[in-house]
Structure formats: C-alpha cells, structure tokens
Structure 1
Amino acid sequence: MSVTWLLDQWVARQPDKTFVTWAPFDQPARHWTYAEMAREAKRFAADLHERGVKEGDFVLMHHDNAPEFLGAWFGCAYLGAVPVTTNTRSVAENVAYFAELMQPAVAITQPSLAPLVREACGSDTPMIVTGDPATDYDADALGAIPIAEVASERPLPDLAPDHMRNFAVQFTSGTTSRPKPTVWTNANALWGGKTIAMNVRLRREDVTLLYLPLFHANAQVTFFSALWAGNTVVVHPSFSASRFWDTCAAHGVTWVSMIPFAFKALSGRPVPEHKVHTLIGLARLPEAEAEFRTRTMALWGMTETGTAAIMTDADHPGPAGTMGRPLPHYDVEVRKPDGSQAGPGEEGLLYIRGERGVSLFKEYYQQPEKTEDAFDASGALDTGDIVRIDKDGWLFFVNRDKDMLRVGGENVAALEIETAILDTGLILECAVVAQKHDMLGDVPVAFVTRTDAGRALTAEELTEQVLAHCRAKLADFKVPRAVFIEEDLPRSTLDRVAKAKLRDRLPKIEAD
C-alpha cells in the first residue's frame, strides 16, 4: 500500500468525481477529477524521470498553495521521489540550510520565490517554476524551467510496493536548534489519513475546505484524511475570514480543519446557512458550536506523530476545552516532574509511544543523535507539552514545557497571563515570554496583536488598559513589564507562536 495506491483506488471507483477545487480569491474556481489529478501527476513524474530524478531523490518544494503544488506532490509519489515541503516565510539562510542538508535533485517554486530558491540551491540544481508564463521575472537569468514544459506521456518505471518507502519530509522548528528534517513514510501518510477520517466518520460525500499552507504537516494530514474517504477538497490560497462561510456555502463544505486564530477571526461575523458538520481544532469549543451552528472536535498531534495521537470522537465529544483521549495504537503517559504518573486533576509532561514509520515519524534525516534524543530510554517520544488529565481520562493542553517563567523564585505559567490579557477583548493574539532579569531571573513581557476594539485605541491607551486589567486579575509578579503591539506574531508552526524569536528580541534587564 502507498499514497498512490490509495489515489489509484479512487480513480478506479470514482474517476469523474471532483477531487480538487482550486478556489482563488480573484478568479473563477477550477476543478480536477480524481482521474485528472492522477493523470497530471503521472505526466509530471514521467518528465522528472526523463530529467534524471529517480526513486529516493529529494525534491525541494518551496511553494504557496496552488493546484500545481498538488500535481507535483503526487507526481513525486508516483516516481518514488520524496518532496521536501518548506515554509515559504523562511528567509534565504533557512532555505539554503534546507537545500544543503537535503541535496535536492530538483527544486519547485513560484515566480515570486524563484530568486530566493536559486540563491539557496545554487546554479547546479534544476529549478521548475510554476504560474503564468507571462509573469514578470527573468526566467532565463534564473535558469528556470516553466512547469508547462514538465509533462511527458512516457511510461513510468516500475515502483515496487513498499509502504515503508519515504514519502515526504517536513522541517520541524526546534526551540533550541535548527529545524529538523522529519521523515514520513507512505505508511505514515496512510495512517494519518485513516485515523482522522475514521474518527470524524467521513464519507465519500463529504467536502473539506483547506486553507492551511500545503507545505505544513497539518494541511497534508487534512488532505490525506479527505483522500482516504474519497472526499472533495476545496483549496484556498490562504485563510480569509471574509470568504470562509461564503466558500463553505457555495461548495457544500462539510468539515474544516481549523487553527485557533481562525476561530477568533470568524467570531462575530454573520454565519449563513451551511452544511458544515465539523470544525476540528485544538480543543472542544461549545461556544463556537453555538455561534457557528456545528460541532467542534479536538485533536492533539505534532509532525513527529504524523497525525492525531489524541482526539475527541464524533459521538463522544467530551467536556469543554478537552483535546481528547488517546487514539488506538498510541500509548500515552502523563509524567509529573519526579517521573511518576499523573493522576486525575494533575498535570505533567506528555509522552507518546507508537510504531516508528507508521504512527510515529521514521527519523530526522541524517541526524541519528537528534532522532535518538527525541525518545527516552523506554522508547517514549518526549513531546515537550504539559497536559492535565481528568478523572475520566480526558486530556487538556496546559502549556509548553518551556513556556514556564521563573519570576523571583515563583513558577509562572505564560498561559495564565495570556488568558488574562485576552479577557480584555482588545487583543486578538497574545504571546507572553520571559525577559531575563539580573535580580529576578525572569520577568513577563507580552507581545500582542489587536482586535478591532483594540485598534480603536492609541498604543498608550491599549497598553494601559491591558496592564490595568492584569493588575486587577493577577499577582503583582505576574503583571507584564511591557506590552509590545505587533501586526503579526512569528510562528514556529501554524498553531504555535515562535516564542524563541520574541525572547531573542529582549535584552537582559541589568537593574530594576
């Protein structure tokens, strides 16, 4: 079994059903059936083969959401090549690191990113550029191959069935080191899709809206879930709060994988008649269920688990705020600081066991020491997350292990301060980090983005109201020393703010 085996199954059973709908914001939607997507992917794969790309070679894909992304992605799978999908917000130094480590046989990108990719990969790496051939960029100077030229009708080489063949690589953002290349096998991809599809009870008639960046693990698992169930996938270029519900209504969307920001951005907007039965986030949200007239489901996962290891169930939603219970084939432990098991009502570090290459990632490519360090002596994956377990076995996310501050000898959870700040109604997103202090160790500092109500205030007014609320709600040592107003917060993943980058901006306080 493999990803292409699954696609070919649906081509045989429902060749003319719409598989992918590309719904850009400024042009009419375009559609691909299951048969058309497979045909396009095979033609792409055959041309790559003619250009010397072979099974096991890496293909760097530095590309925003677009239909060409999917054709190339599946094309790699048909050839047995391994797509390395990278965050398009990466700077040139990051992409150069990705390329140096993975040594791609070819790179695929879009016109706006082509100069960066060429600089990162060097002149010897073939570079395929998608998009309108008339786009204003110097293709000849960059040595770019237009994607329109990458198509061949020649047969593909035989690829032996192997569910453990490498399928994809994504770079995870480490908190203390450079991003690590996380390898997924075909079994990881299939397991990921099957797990979520079964828990949500997806059927062939379901339709999902995918606005998450396709280079990201969350988006890819969402796509696999839709593919496992034979769904239609409506792809947006990015998240748009103003278009979300109209797109759902127009295309008959029935389920959507969400991020916390999307729930916040949609709140308060008109909700038309729709067919959405499930919004999947990081916690069960009864208030969102009432506002959006649908159910919410929750899950917990990371790139290293390949999919959700913890999730709620379509028929058993669990209490408000839960992220679910452990799914089959995952062994979950919640350990207190002394290593003992946490009991009901207690918090601890989350450890996960599974099967490498199936329910857990295969490895960090060419980084055996980091791969070994990800697991403890018992073989459990250290997730770095602090969770709480209740008397019925429901799990609740509390914080990242490194998200605790030590203020003058007192342990302070960043989440507690963030919750108080968000309660003002003036703040859309908030990240509290530690600023080093020569006397107190750490002091809390807040980085925030504003709601419409917050934007109606001056920076001084907003800061004073936030601090006044914190002084009223928190112990004095928990009140932020400063509030920095940002237009956007840097991210390490879609769901997590890159707090290390924010901490790096703060000089140590030498005197109070």
Structure 2
Amino acid sequence: MATPKFDATYSAQLYTFAGKDVPWLMKKWAEQTPEKEFLIWEPKDGNTKTWTYQGFWEEINKVACGLIEKGVKKGDKLLIHSENSPEMMIAWYASAIVGSCAVTTNTRCVGDELTYFAEHSDAVGCITQPKFIKELAKNATSLPWFIVTDDNSGEPAADDQKDHRYDGWASLYGFGDVAPERPVEPMLPVGIQFTSGTTSRPKAVVHTHANAMWGGMNGAQNLDIDSSDVYLCYLPCFHVNAQSWTFWTMAWAGGTVVLQPKFSSSRFWEVSLKHKCTRASMIPFCFKAIGAQEIPEHSYKSWSTGVKLHNVENYWKVPTFATWGMTETVTHATRSFLPQDCPEMNIGIPSPGYEFAIMNPETGEYCDIGENGDLYIRGTRGVHIFLEYYKNQEAMDKSFTDDGWFMTGDQARLGEDGYMYFADRDKDVLKVGGENVSARQVEEFIGELLGMGVLEEHAIVAQKHDMLDEVPVVFAIKSAWTQLTEEEITEKIMKGCEEGLADFKRPKSIYFVEEMPRATLEKVAKNKLREMADELADKEKAEG
C-alpha cells in the first residue's frame, strides 16, 4: 500500500467548500426560502425598497447577462466605485455569477488614487454613480467603459452630474433573464478590496469564492446568527466589515440586511425599530452620535465593536462582540463568546480555522504572557485568509514567512486571563473616523506637491477630534529659501490635498514651527508633536 501524500493546504482548498460558491449560495436560498427578505434598502428619504432572495437572484442574473453583453468574462476585473446602494450590491453579486472579480474602491479617493485603482486592478470597465463620474473619467483613463447609476444612493443627481455621455444602469438589462451556468470553482477570485492605506500605496487584497463562504459561515457561527436575524449595515461596502461581517454572513445564514447609504444618527433608531434589527457593527463615532438620544425598546442581540465595552452594554443594554479582523483575514480572526462575560477591552480568542502567534521582534521567540509583540496568523490562503495581493509579489514576500505565517502589522499581547489585547498601535497610522491613514503617505504627497525649497521639514501627526477620534494635522518648518508666505504655503497644501487625497487623509490644520522636537538627531519626536497638536486643539476649542 502506497504511503498517502498529504497536503493540508490542498485538502482545505479542495474539501472545505467543495461544490459551493457565491452563486450556489444565493440560488440555494432563492429556491429554499424564495419569499424571505434578503436586502432592504433604506435611503435618506425613507423610500424603502425590498428584494426577497428569489427577487435578488432574478435581478443579479439579469445584470450578469448585461455584463456578459459588455464583454465581461470569467477572470476579468470589474471596478465598482460606489457608495452603499442596491446597484453596488447587485453588480457585485452579478459579477460573481459571471465569474469575474469585483473591485470595490473607496469613494473618498480622488485624482491619482483613482488612476492607481483602475490601472493596478486591470479593470475592464466600471460601474459608478453620477457624483463620481467626472473625477473617474478624468483620472481612470485606462477604463474602456463606464456605467452610471441614475442617482447617488437614493439622492437625485445634480444637474452638472447628469452631463455625461456614458450608459446608464438600465443599459445592463434586456439581454436575458438567466445567466449561463459555469462550473463551480471555490478558489476563483470573486472580489478585490484595497487595504486602508497603512502603507504608501494600498494593496489589492484578493478574496475567493471560498473566502466568501468562509466569511459567511464563520461570521454566522461566531455570533450564533440564523435566518431570523436582521443586520443593519451603514458602514461602506468597499470595506471588509460590511462586505464580509454583514453581507457574506447574512447570505450564509439566510438572513436579512438593512442597507443604508451611510450612518445617520437621526435615523438610527427609526430604521432599527422599523425593521426589528438584531445586529450591527458599531464604531466609536456611532456611539458618540447617538449618545444623547433616548434609548427605545429595541431588538438588538449584539453589536460588533472590536473590543469588549461594558459601558456600552450597561448604557444601551446590548452585548458587545469582541473581535479582531482585517481585510486579509476575511472575517473575525478572533472572537468572544456572547453568553460569557469577558474582560474590558479584550479582542477575544482565536476563531476556529486560524493559528496565532505573538512574537518578540528582537529575539524571534514567542512572547511571554503579558508581553507585547508582533501578531502573526496562519490559515489556508484562499479559504481562511486572503488569496494574494494582486500583482504585488514584493508585498507577499514581506508579509509571509516561508512556512505560511502572515505578519499582520499589528501588535498584541496575551493576557493572564487568556484573552488577547491590542498593544498600542503604530502611532504613524492614524485612525480617522474608522479609516486608516498612513502619515508617511500624506507626508510624501505634500513633499511631492511642494517640491524642493518650500519646507525645510514637515510631519503629519494625529490631533484629537470630538467626533472622528483623531484627524491629521501638519507641523512644518518653512524654508529660508522660499518666497512664499505661510498663508500661501497653507493654501497650496490644502488645495493640492483636496485634489489629490481622499478627504479623510487631508490635513485639517497646518502649524508652522521654528524647530521640531527630536527623539534623535535624525528622528522627529512625534509623540511631542501629538501633545502639541492636542494642546492647540484645546486652545482653539476654548477660543471658539
């Protein structure tokens, strides 16, 4: 008898979701629970629209036929540059039927960022909204065609946004009711999402159909979600939280998603009560926005908050789900167990399917309990973790060890209580209203914008902010060689950033100083600059 030649990676890729992909899942529910609500659209004007599982399946098949008519085929990349909307989600799931890969991009990005998204992804076309078409057409010139929706996530397009020559959303219909079936390939790429900018250029994270199945199954099991659950979704669907934690999870469970264009503090409880929402992903901004509102009798079973927050539980009477994940981990890589209480600010324990290691960067050894270190995870690529960084072998080589461990870039520690905790995150990565911002990227952009001889030195740091937690600000030393005034330099930076950076990356203030505080001769003491920035924020607030 021959000795079996086992391969754990091949086995996981072969068996975990054999015969299953995104179209299989959506068709299954369309046949099993055809009248069950899958997607409820709640735009700003309250003009609710609903798709049952059967209705959604029929809709995405029609749009898939339209995409095929446009020349989209298996393996192609389809750019979807849109805020939350039914069209965005219909296009994504229609792309999955075709076998193409939907590339969802951050709508707050502008200029060269759009050029990069289109060119790096090799997209064959783009679906977008009226408010974005001019900026896209100007910068994403590699795209052969655009399709523009009729409105901006339920809000009418302005007159100047209607003045374009591109086909509308309706042009995708009329080419068939049922798309041709293709063989099920769980390892086929289904989506690309770009990382949030913790490095100079966002990396294109490739998710497979198996990743989507895993995200859905794992998300449902971790939170004990079933078909009776209703998930309120207002976080942007070009990020993994809304895409995986919400949509893939609810699709796996056969549940319902209530989709809003964006977070609305004035409508949060109205929409939650109207649809008896049971789940939501909440970020600090949301708590601040609804903190002063009267708390009604509600149906929430849990809020996914990232860390355990007892003050939230005590105030709103909703259990908080402690978890950590990133675009590369697909879904919750750590989890808490909702029925059990657990320590404040923990991020849970490893979810099934993931291996964890916290390593001392100096010694290369495992950290002791309570010691901060570099967080590594391991899982099967294309199933438990992402497949690859598209067209970026250098990033793959830097991110993975030879034996498959992925360096997350986060630091964590294992507490004596057995739960995991974040260490202080890299302070050169700002967290602006839930978006990661690389200080280095903004610094490099300003340097290229101004060129030589305008600033002797400049640095980006975080300044505290009441609603966004923190915002980027610039500290700068004016060069002795420039003829520009501080006001002219400020205007040039602000105008350039408005044209070339996503709004959450743009500095909110520019402070000119005579010298920078130093950690060493070469290194700016950014901790001192952050203290200065916060003192200036307090002073500006006091002065009104």
Distance 2:378 2:436 in 1: 32
Deviations 1:80-113 (A, max 9, x none): 1111000000012111111111221110000111
Match of residue 203, structure 2, among 168, 175, 180? 180
Question: Counterpart of 1:172 in structure 2: which amino acid?
Answer: T
2:87 matched to which residue of 1?
A: 68
Equivalent residue in structure 1 for 2:373, among 331, 348, 353 = 348
The equivalent residue for 2:401 is 376
Q: Specify the code of the residue in structure 2 equivalent to 1:256.
A: A
Q: Aligned to 2:296, which of 261, 266, 272?
A: 272
Report the Cα offset of residue 149 of structure 1. 1.9
C-alpha change, 1:264 and 1:342, in structure 2 (3 Å) is farther
SS in 2 for 1:300: coil
What is the aligned length? Answer: 447
Matched, 1:448 2:470: no
Say whether the 8 Å CA contact 1:260–1:282 is kept in structure 2: no
The aligned counterpart of 2:251 is: 227
1:133-282 alignment runs, 5 A limit: 135-136=157-158, 142-151=164-173, 152-153=175-176, 155-221=178-244, 222-282=246-306
- How many angstroms does 1:511 deviate by? 5.9
Helix, strand or coil at the partner of 2:423: strand
- Output one character per residue of 1:4-26: Cα deviation in whole Å (capped at 9) or x when no partner: 11111111111011111101121
- Give distance in 2, aligned partners of 1:205 and 1:92: 43
Contact 2:58 2:178 in 1 (8 A): no
Unaligned runs of 5+ residues in structure 2 are 1-19, 444-456, 469-493, 518-544
Q: Using the aligned pairs only, state the percent identity.
A: 37
1:223–1:143 CA distance, 2 compared to 1 (3 A): same
Paired position in structure 1 for 2:27: 8
CA distance in 2, matches of 1:251, 1:357: 35
Which residue of the other structure, out of 86, 96, 101, is the alignment partner of 1:77? 96
Residues 376-396 of structure 1: CA distance to partner in whole angstroms, max 9, x if unpaired?
A: 233211111111211232001
Please tell me whether the aligned partners of residues 384 and 400 of structure 1 are also in contact (alpha carbons under 8 angstroms).
Answer: no
- Corresponding residue number in structure 2 for 1:408: none
Deviations 1:311-338 (A, max 9, x none): 1122334211111000111110111232
Q: Deviations over 1:145-202 (max 9, x none)?
A: 1111211225423311110000000111343331111100001111011111101101
Tell me the secondary structure at the aligned position of residue 37 of structure 1. Answer: helix
Look up the equivalent residue of 1:363 and give its one-letter code. Answer: E
More relative contact order, 1 or 2 (CA 8 Å, 6+ apart): 2
C-alpha distance in 2, partners of 1:10/1:257? 24
Per the TM alignment, residue 504 of structure 1 is displaced from its structure 2 partner at its CA by 12
- Which deviates further from its counterpart, 393-402 or 282-291? 393-402
Aligned residue runs from structure 1 range 250-399, under 5 A: 250-337=274-361, 338-399=363-424
**1:301 partner SS:** coil
Change (3 A) 1:503 1:292: closer
Counterparts of 1:265 and 1:20, CA distance in 2: 25
Whole-Å separation in 1 of the counterparts to 2:192 and 2:436: 30
**1:128 aligned to 143, 147, 157, which one?**
147
Structure 1 residue 430, shift from structure 2 partner: 13
Q: 1:7-53: per-residue Cα shift (whole Å, max 9, x none)? A: 11111111011111101121321111111111111100001111211
Within 1, Cα distance between the matches of 2:373 and 2:318? 32
Q: Distance in 1 between matches of 2:80 and 2:428?
A: 32
Query: Is the 8 Å Cα contact of residues 99 and 121 (structure 1) preserved in structure 2?
Result: yes
Shift of 1:368: 1.3
Moved more, 177-186 or 266-275: 266-275
TM-score in terms of structure 2 length: 0.75
Q: Secondary structure at the match of 2:374?
A: strand
> Judging changes above 3 Å, is the alpha-carbon distance between structure 1 residues 504 and 6 closer, same or farther for their aligned structure 2 residues?
farther
Question: CA 1:295–1:372 in structure 2 vs 1: closer, same or farther (change >3 Å)?
Answer: same
Aligned amino acid, residue 448 of structure 1: K
Question: Contact between 2:196 and 2:436, CA under 8 Å: does it hold in 1?
Answer: no
Looking at structure 2, the residues matched to 344 and 442 of structure 1 have their Cα atoms a distance apart, in angstroms, of 39
SS in 1 for 2:376: strand
> Does the Cα contact within 8 Å between 2:334 and 2:351 map onto a contact in 1?
yes
Secondary structure of the corresponding residue to residue 193 of structure 1: helix
Amino acid at match of 1:243: R
Report the equivalent of 2:67.
Answer: 48
Q: What do you get for the CA RMSD once the two structures are aligned?
A: 3.4
Equivalent residue, structure 1, for 2:528: none
Distance 1:195 1:8 in 2: 20
Unaligned runs of 5+ in 1: 405-413, 419-426, 453-485
Q: Could you state the TM-score of these two structures normalised by the residue count of structure 1? A: 0.80
> Does structure 2 conserve the Cα–Cα contact (< 8 Å) formed by 1:428 and 1:450?
no
Q: Which moved more, 1:334-343 or 1:46-55?
A: 334-343
8 A Cα contact 1:430 1:449, kept in partner: no
SS at 2:262's partner residue? coil
